[in-house]
Amino acid sequence: MLSGDKKAVVLLSGGLDSATILAMAKEKGFILYALSFRYGQRHKCEVASARRVAESTGVVEHRIIDIELGQFGGSAITDAKIEVPKDSSDLGDEESIPLTYVPARNLIFLSYAVAWSEVLGAFDIFIGVNWMDYSGYPDCRPEFIAAFSRTANLATAAGIKGKGRYEIHTPLMNMSKGEIILAGTKLGVDYALTHSCYDPDEQGKSCGRCDACRLRLKGFAQAGIADPIEYAE
Protein backbone atom coordinates (compact mmCIF):
# COMPACT_ATOMS: atom_id res chain seq x y z
CA MET A 1 0.00 0.00 0.00
CA LEU A 2 1.05 3.59 -0.62
CA SER A 3 1.64 6.26 1.97
CA GLY A 4 -1.76 7.76 1.27
CA ASP A 5 -0.83 10.98 -0.48
CA LYS A 6 0.42 9.71 -3.80
CA LYS A 7 -1.47 11.12 -6.76
CA ALA A 8 -1.99 9.40 -10.09
CA VAL A 9 -3.24 10.80 -13.38
CA VAL A 10 -5.38 8.19 -15.15
CA LEU A 11 -6.24 8.49 -18.84
CA LEU A 12 -9.93 7.69 -18.93
CA SER A 13 -11.63 7.18 -22.29
CA GLY A 14 -14.84 5.70 -20.93
CA GLY A 15 -14.09 2.30 -22.44
CA LEU A 16 -13.74 -0.88 -20.47
CA ASP A 17 -9.94 -0.86 -20.38
CA SER A 18 -9.65 2.59 -18.85
CA ALA A 19 -12.45 1.89 -16.34
CA THR A 20 -10.43 -1.14 -15.25
CA ILE A 21 -7.12 0.74 -14.81
CA LEU A 22 -8.91 3.43 -12.80
CA ALA A 23 -10.12 0.71 -10.41
CA MET A 24 -6.59 -0.77 -10.34
CA ALA A 25 -5.03 2.61 -9.47
CA LYS A 26 -7.63 3.03 -6.71
CA GLU A 27 -6.87 -0.45 -5.38
CA LYS A 28 -3.18 0.54 -5.18
CA GLY A 29 -4.10 3.48 -2.95
CA PHE A 30 -3.49 6.36 -5.38
CA ILE A 31 -5.42 9.62 -5.12
CA LEU A 32 -7.15 9.66 -8.49
CA TYR A 33 -7.09 12.41 -11.13
CA ALA A 34 -8.89 11.38 -14.32
CA LEU A 35 -8.12 12.94 -17.70
CA SER A 36 -10.39 12.61 -20.75
CA PHE A 37 -10.41 14.19 -24.19
CA ARG A 38 -12.96 15.36 -26.68
CA TYR A 39 -10.82 15.02 -29.78
CA GLY A 40 -13.38 14.97 -32.54
CA GLN A 41 -14.16 11.27 -32.12
CA ARG A 42 -17.37 10.01 -33.72
CA HIS A 43 -18.29 8.21 -30.56
CA LYS A 44 -18.80 11.25 -28.35
CA CYS A 45 -20.85 9.25 -25.87
CA GLU A 46 -17.46 7.92 -24.77
CA VAL A 47 -16.98 11.14 -22.81
CA ALA A 48 -20.35 10.75 -21.04
CA SER A 49 -19.25 7.23 -20.09
CA ALA A 50 -15.95 8.59 -18.79
CA ARG A 51 -17.88 11.00 -16.58
CA ARG A 52 -20.05 8.22 -15.15
CA VAL A 53 -17.05 5.97 -14.53
CA ALA A 54 -15.08 8.79 -12.86
CA GLU A 55 -17.99 9.59 -10.55
CA SER A 56 -18.65 6.00 -9.61
CA THR A 57 -14.95 5.41 -8.80
CA GLY A 58 -14.54 8.48 -6.60
CA VAL A 59 -11.91 10.50 -8.45
CA VAL A 60 -10.78 13.77 -6.82
CA GLU A 61 -10.91 15.64 -10.10
CA HIS A 62 -11.94 14.80 -13.67
CA ARG A 63 -10.66 17.05 -16.44
CA ILE A 64 -12.10 16.83 -19.93
CA ILE A 65 -9.94 18.59 -22.48
CA ASP A 66 -11.00 19.67 -25.94
CA ILE A 67 -8.34 19.00 -28.52
CA GLU A 68 -8.57 19.46 -32.23
CA LEU A 69 -7.22 16.17 -33.51
CA GLY A 70 -10.11 15.90 -35.93
CA GLN A 71 -8.90 18.85 -37.96
CA PHE A 72 -5.89 16.84 -39.08
CA GLY A 73 -8.11 14.03 -40.39
CA GLY A 74 -6.49 10.80 -41.46
CA SER A 75 -8.61 8.46 -39.34
CA ALA A 76 -12.03 6.83 -39.51
CA ILE A 77 -12.47 7.85 -35.86
CA THR A 78 -12.26 11.58 -36.48
CA ASP A 79 -13.00 11.95 -40.18
CA ALA A 80 -16.64 11.53 -41.22
CA LYS A 81 -15.47 10.89 -44.80
CA ILE A 82 -13.75 7.63 -43.83
CA GLU A 83 -16.09 4.77 -42.96
CA VAL A 84 -15.58 2.75 -39.76
CA PRO A 85 -14.69 -0.77 -40.89
CA LYS A 86 -17.24 -3.44 -39.93
CA ASP A 87 -16.81 -7.21 -39.70
CA SER A 88 -13.20 -6.85 -40.78
CA SER A 89 -11.20 -10.04 -41.10
CA ASP A 90 -7.89 -8.67 -39.86
CA LEU A 91 -8.86 -8.27 -36.22
CA GLY A 92 -5.72 -8.55 -34.18
CA ASP A 93 -3.46 -8.78 -37.18
CA GLU A 94 -0.24 -7.06 -36.20
CA GLU A 95 0.88 -6.39 -39.75
CA SER A 96 -1.88 -4.02 -40.72
CA ILE A 97 -2.69 -0.73 -39.04
CA PRO A 98 -6.45 -0.18 -39.10
CA LEU A 99 -8.29 2.85 -40.45
CA THR A 100 -9.41 3.63 -36.91
CA TYR A 101 -5.83 4.50 -35.93
CA VAL A 102 -5.68 8.20 -34.96
CA PRO A 103 -2.29 9.74 -35.80
CA ALA A 104 -0.15 10.21 -32.68
CA ARG A 105 -3.18 10.05 -30.37
CA ASN A 106 -1.55 8.36 -27.38
CA LEU A 107 1.55 10.54 -27.80
CA ILE A 108 -0.65 13.64 -27.43
CA PHE A 109 -2.80 12.18 -24.61
CA LEU A 110 0.28 11.17 -22.59
CA SER A 111 1.91 14.56 -23.18
CA TYR A 112 -1.12 16.29 -21.64
CA ALA A 113 -1.04 13.79 -18.77
CA VAL A 114 2.60 14.72 -18.11
CA ALA A 115 1.75 18.45 -18.15
CA TRP A 116 -1.04 17.97 -15.62
CA SER A 117 1.07 15.61 -13.50
CA GLU A 118 3.83 18.16 -13.31
CA VAL A 119 1.46 20.82 -12.01
CA LEU A 120 -0.15 18.38 -9.55
CA GLY A 121 3.16 17.04 -8.32
CA ALA A 122 2.17 13.56 -9.51
CA PHE A 123 4.62 11.11 -11.06
CA ASP A 124 2.34 8.17 -11.81
CA ILE A 125 0.35 8.02 -15.02
CA PHE A 126 -1.98 5.15 -15.92
CA ILE A 127 -2.93 4.29 -19.50
CA GLY A 128 -5.01 1.33 -20.59
CA VAL A 129 -2.96 0.21 -23.56
CA ASN A 130 -2.91 -3.42 -24.36
CA TRP A 131 -0.53 -5.50 -26.37
CA MET A 132 -2.26 -8.88 -26.29
CA ASP A 133 -5.60 -8.19 -27.91
CA TYR A 134 -3.75 -5.76 -30.08
CA SER A 135 -5.68 -3.72 -32.60
CA GLY A 136 -2.54 -2.95 -34.58
CA TYR A 137 -2.04 0.51 -33.09
CA PRO A 138 1.65 1.44 -32.91
CA ASP A 139 1.12 3.65 -29.87
CA CYS A 140 -0.07 0.73 -27.74
CA ARG A 141 3.24 -1.13 -27.86
CA PRO A 142 5.61 -1.49 -24.90
CA GLU A 143 8.50 0.01 -26.92
CA PHE A 144 6.51 3.18 -27.40
CA ILE A 145 5.62 3.43 -23.71
CA ALA A 146 9.26 2.89 -22.67
CA ALA A 147 10.51 5.59 -25.07
CA PHE A 148 7.80 7.95 -23.91
CA SER A 149 8.68 7.50 -20.21
CA ARG A 150 12.27 8.41 -20.95
CA THR A 151 11.17 11.46 -22.92
CA ALA A 152 8.80 12.63 -20.17
CA ASN A 153 11.60 12.61 -17.62
CA LEU A 154 13.76 14.72 -19.93
CA ALA A 155 10.94 17.08 -20.93
CA THR A 156 10.00 18.40 -17.53
CA ALA A 157 11.35 20.55 -14.76
CA ALA A 158 10.19 17.95 -12.25
CA GLY A 159 12.16 15.26 -14.09
CA ILE A 160 15.32 17.37 -14.21
CA LYS A 161 15.21 18.55 -10.65
CA GLY A 162 15.04 14.93 -9.56
CA LYS A 163 11.84 15.48 -7.60
CA GLY A 164 10.73 12.13 -8.91
CA ARG A 165 10.66 9.91 -11.96
CA TYR A 166 7.59 9.70 -14.13
CA GLU A 167 6.26 6.21 -14.38
CA ILE A 168 3.79 5.24 -17.08
CA HIS A 169 1.75 2.36 -15.68
CA THR A 170 0.29 -0.05 -18.22
CA PRO A 171 -1.25 -2.76 -16.05
CA LEU A 172 -3.25 -4.22 -18.97
CA MET A 173 -0.30 -4.52 -21.35
CA ASN A 174 -0.08 -8.31 -21.23
CA MET A 175 -3.66 -9.23 -20.40
CA SER A 176 -6.30 -10.61 -22.72
CA LYS A 177 -9.64 -8.82 -22.89
CA GLY A 178 -11.17 -11.70 -20.96
CA GLU A 179 -8.57 -11.39 -18.19
CA ILE A 180 -9.12 -7.62 -18.04
CA ILE A 181 -12.87 -8.07 -17.58
CA LEU A 182 -12.37 -10.71 -14.90
CA ALA A 183 -9.89 -8.50 -13.02
CA GLY A 184 -12.16 -5.45 -13.25
CA THR A 185 -15.21 -7.42 -12.14
CA LYS A 186 -13.29 -8.54 -9.05
CA LEU A 187 -12.52 -4.87 -8.29
CA GLY A 188 -16.17 -3.94 -8.64
CA VAL A 189 -16.02 -2.16 -12.01
CA ASP A 190 -19.50 -1.58 -13.40
CA TYR A 191 -19.04 -2.30 -17.09
CA ALA A 192 -22.60 -1.12 -17.77
CA LEU A 193 -21.19 2.42 -17.44
CA THR A 194 -18.54 1.90 -20.13
CA HIS A 195 -18.68 2.42 -23.87
CA SER A 196 -16.50 0.81 -26.55
CA CYS A 197 -18.22 1.12 -29.96
CA TYR A 198 -16.55 3.32 -32.61
CA ASP A 199 -19.81 3.86 -34.47
CA PRO A 200 -22.82 3.94 -32.13
CA ASP A 201 -26.32 4.76 -33.38
CA GLU A 202 -28.18 7.93 -32.44
CA GLN A 203 -29.40 6.46 -29.17
CA GLY A 204 -25.80 5.60 -28.29
CA LYS A 205 -26.35 1.88 -28.81
CA SER A 206 -23.27 -0.05 -29.87
CA CYS A 207 -23.08 -1.51 -33.39
CA GLY A 208 -21.63 -4.88 -32.34
CA ARG A 209 -19.65 -5.08 -35.57
CA CYS A 210 -16.75 -2.60 -35.47
CA ASP A 211 -13.35 -3.76 -34.20
CA ALA A 212 -13.96 -2.23 -30.76
CA CYS A 213 -17.31 -4.01 -30.32
CA ARG A 214 -15.93 -7.30 -31.55
CA LEU A 215 -12.94 -7.16 -29.20
CA ARG A 216 -15.29 -6.29 -26.34
CA LEU A 217 -17.72 -9.10 -27.11
CA LYS A 218 -14.87 -11.58 -27.50
CA GLY A 219 -13.60 -10.48 -24.08
CA PHE A 220 -16.91 -11.01 -22.32
CA ALA A 221 -17.22 -14.40 -24.01
CA GLN A 222 -13.71 -15.34 -22.80
CA ALA A 223 -14.57 -14.19 -19.28
CA GLY A 224 -17.85 -16.11 -19.31
CA ILE A 225 -19.71 -12.98 -18.25
CA ALA A 226 -22.64 -11.31 -20.04
CA ASP A 227 -21.89 -7.87 -21.48
CA PRO A 228 -24.28 -5.52 -19.62
CA ILE A 229 -24.53 -2.88 -22.37
CA GLU A 230 -27.16 -2.70 -25.12
CA TYR A 231 -26.41 -3.40 -28.76
CA ALA A 232 -28.35 -2.19 -31.80
CA GLU A 233 -30.98 -4.63 -33.23
Contact footprint for a second copy (CB under 8 A): 63, 65-69, 71-74, 97, 101, 103-108, 111-112, 114-116, 118-119, 138-139, 141, 143-144, 147-148, 150-152, 154-157, 159-161
Q: How far is the CB of 78 from a second copy (least distance, A)?
A: 10
Q: Return the number of the residue (72 or 87) whose C-beta is nearest a second copy.
A: 72
Q: How far is the CB of 146 from a second copy (least distance, A)?
A: 8
Encode 120-159: b = buried (16+ Cβ within 10 Å), e = exposed: eebbbbbbbbbbebebbbebbbeebbeebbebbbebbebb
Q: Nearest CA to 111 among 188, 9, 27?
A: 9
Q: Return the number of the residue (2 or 60) whose C-beta is nearest a second copy.
A: 60
Q: How far is the CB of 220 from a second copy (least distance, A)?
A: 29
Q: Return the number of the residue (72 or 228) whose C-beta is nearest a second copy.
A: 72
Q: How far is the CB of 223 from a second copy (least distance, A)?
A: 30
Q: Return the number of the residue (74 or 204) whose C-beta is nearest a second copy.
A: 74
Q: Return the number of the residue (101 or 198) whose C-beta is nearest a second copy.
A: 101
